[in-house]
Amino acid sequence: MVYKKFAVAVLAAAVGACAQLETAPDTGIASDATEIDASISQASEEISRNILQSAEPALPPSDIWERLRRGFTLQRELKRDKVQDYVNYFSSNQGYMSRVTERSRRYIFHVAEQLEQANVPLEFALLPVVESAYDPFAYSHAQASGMWQFIPATGRSFGLHQNWWYDGRRDVVESTRAASEYFNYLAAKFDGDWLLVLAAYNAGEGTVRRAIERNKRRGKGTSFWDLKLPRETRSYVPQLLALAEVVAHPEKYQVPLHNVDNSPYYAVVNVGSQIDLAQASELAGIEVKELHLLNPGYNRWATDPNGNHRLLIPADKREQFMEKLATLPADQRVTWQRYKVARGDSLSVIARRYETTIAAIQQTNKLRGSNIRAGQTLLIPSASGPNAEYAYAIDQRVNRRQSSGSGRKTSYTVRPGDTLWGIARTMNVKVRELASWNSMAPGDTLRPGRKLVAYNSGGSSSEQQSRTTRKLSYRVRNGDSLYRIARKFRIDISDIVRWNKINKKTYLQPGQRLTLFVDSAASG
């Protein structure tokens, strides 16, 4: 660009000189030409000096937004109605833009770093705004989780481990790595067309591929704008382009962007062993909430005992944390409780009571199997602080969600064979509502013993039930059992026993009549 400006300037000087020659009188042409040559030479020297000054390395951007602007490469297609609609939306929602950019301050520098290293356009650093409003704890009804909203299967495909203790889809570093790899994978599939990459990230590679093949057969174009894609995807890409436009010109659109320095917010520390997050926050001199926001991948009160032991610590607290950690032996980084096994106890019951896993108890106590005996003493890893201190642990988030509804609150304990759909029918609520109140997705696996809550507005439970249930006389068929009938009609075995005054252990006889009260929509 500098050399182009130099060529234009020299050309302009030459044109000016020629103009002077054409208008000069015949006498003294030689002397005039000499003066003009000197002027051109002087102008050239001045331009050369400017070039040398301009050729010096540009100063690094002082804030993250300027850094992103320098890395923007996508055409923003402002003449398209959908893009313009979203530009208007973002520019008229200044409060939202202020909140979401403030929320991004812990992460966006590091996201930009990883995307740059992966040669991904920096517009993609704004994608978590579209996906999750930069909330690493975001969870959708499609089972998508984290800033980048990975579903479980795709997350595992890109190395994001998920277990009771840890969910890599919420891990800031790991999920951004996986997203970068996924973007480049899609870019290779779609010949570097980044708009198709965005579309495939949202709708799936197969959906976009089929839309392209369909257009090819019909002799139509195959750019994003030509394809017939799901409605959400047709809005998804314009939304990111509009967001980039607003970030590129915040003054023009009067959009406040939270001030975020172009410098690291956190440092990565390998702790080397499991550690209680409350204890780690104390070592770092920060609130547990701040540690959870930097390490949202950890589901519980501590790091994964069998996984990696990496913690993100605010950059200015790293040295203090490392010094204090060095003086704390590994066996003192988690609190242990002694538990005397009672009659009827099992490892699963004990693990659930102390919010840990069977594997953690087995590993700690060097147990090869699940057999334990009454009177035996076990060491149980447990949280050092009260539950409220681990506000972002998954159990506490679920509890807050379960308390957020309005109306009459009812609860249900999951039994073997239950489905969320069946429980929703029993509780007379919608599946999506039930999932939302319990921080779940409709397709999540139900664990027997888990307590679910629901909220009903207006009317007594008997009034609500009378509107959705009906009495049915059912004839027992060959192969039927109480369990099978209960599953078929999405009712409880205990209810069948109570309605028919039979023993739960009684064998059913073909032809036997049972009285059932079933949901009218579930009875077929």
Q: Residue 436 is encoded by which pair of tokens?
A: 């939302």
Question: Is 116 one of the annotated active-site residues of the chain?
Answer: no
| Amino acid occupying residue 341 | V
Instruction: Measure the CA dihedral 124/125/126/132, to 10°.
Output: 100
Q: Report the DSSP pairing between strands 408-413 and 469-475.
A: unpaired
- Reading the block at residue 349, the tokens are 């019951």
Check 102, 113, 131, 245 and give the catalytic one: 131
- Which candidate, 489, 454, 457, places its Cα nearest to that of 470? 489
Chain centroid to CA 370: 35
Separation CA 63–CA 67 (nearest Å): 7
Q: CA quadruple 7, 8, 10, 15: dihedral positive or negative?
A: positive
CB 308 within 8 A of CB 345: no
Query: Can you tell me the distance from the alpha carbon of 118 to that of 102, in angstroms, rounded to the nearest whole number?
Result: 25
Say if residue 64 is exposed, middle or buried (CB neighbours under 10 Å; 0-12, 13-18, 19+): buried
Q: 329-343: string of b/e by CB count within 10 Å (b at 16+)? A: eeeebbbeeebebee
Active site residues: 131
